């Protein structure tokens, strides 16, 4: 097959016999679910990776060839579908940003600060790589910054305000 099969994996869910194709090109880093192509339904669906991992059996040989053939013709014909996956990714980011802003507002109030609003961060690289409050990695995926302290707001809502040595 001349198509790029790098990282592409074909499997079957034994309980249902559903044949699926996993392609790294359909995945997005900030997404908790995975996008999987269903051969029978000829469309891409979101799956919970935990539900797939243990159940799916790898498929090889002719069955794999046939699944890939169908998948690649879907992929070529469905730029629009790929665009809609891209769109839902943006929609998720928008929701996540709104939640972050709400948590940030609650965080400031809980620490005795006034909420003055947020700014969209133009910082390409964040000086601080880990959140002091929840210790998670600050990845700049949510580009929201506190107007009081200028820090990137973490998904937990924390900024530089309320930090002991700030």
Q: Give residues in contact with Zn ion (CB under 5 A).
A: 131, 133-134, 146, 148-149, 154, 156, 158-161
CB nearer to Zn ion: give 43 or 147. Answer: 147
As measured in angstroms, the least distance from the Cβ of 140 to Zn ion is 13
CB nearer to Zn ion: give 83 or 134. Answer: 134
In angstroms, the CA 111 to CA 75 distance is: 50
As measured in angstroms, the least distance from the Cβ of 100 to Zn ion is 10
CB nearer to Zn ion: give 31 or 133. Answer: 133
As measured in angstroms, the least distance from the Cβ of 90 to Zn ion is 23
Strand 118-120 and strand 144-146: the pairing is: antiparallel
């Amino acid at each position: 097959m001349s198509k790029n099969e790098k990282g592409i994996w074909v499997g079957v869910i034994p309980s249902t016999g559903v044949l699926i194709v996993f392609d790294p090109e359909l995945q997005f880093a900030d997404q908790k679910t995975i996008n999987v192509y269903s051969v029978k339904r000829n469309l891409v669906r979101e799956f919970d990776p935990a539900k797939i991992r243990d159940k799916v059996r790898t498929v090889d040989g002719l069955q794999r060839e046939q699944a890939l053939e169908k998948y690649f013709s879907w992929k070529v014909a469905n730029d629009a579908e790929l665009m809609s996956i891209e769109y839902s990714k943006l929609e998720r980011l928008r929701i996540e940003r709104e939640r972050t802003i709400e948590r940030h507002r609650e965080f400031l109030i809980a620490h005795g600060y006034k909420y003055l609003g947020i700014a969209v961060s133009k910082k390409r690289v964040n000086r601080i790589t880990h959140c002091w409050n929840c210790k998670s990695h600050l990845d700049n995926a949510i580009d929201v910054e506190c107007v009081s302290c200028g820090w990137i707001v973490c998904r937990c809502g924390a900024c530089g305000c309320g930090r002991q040595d700030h």
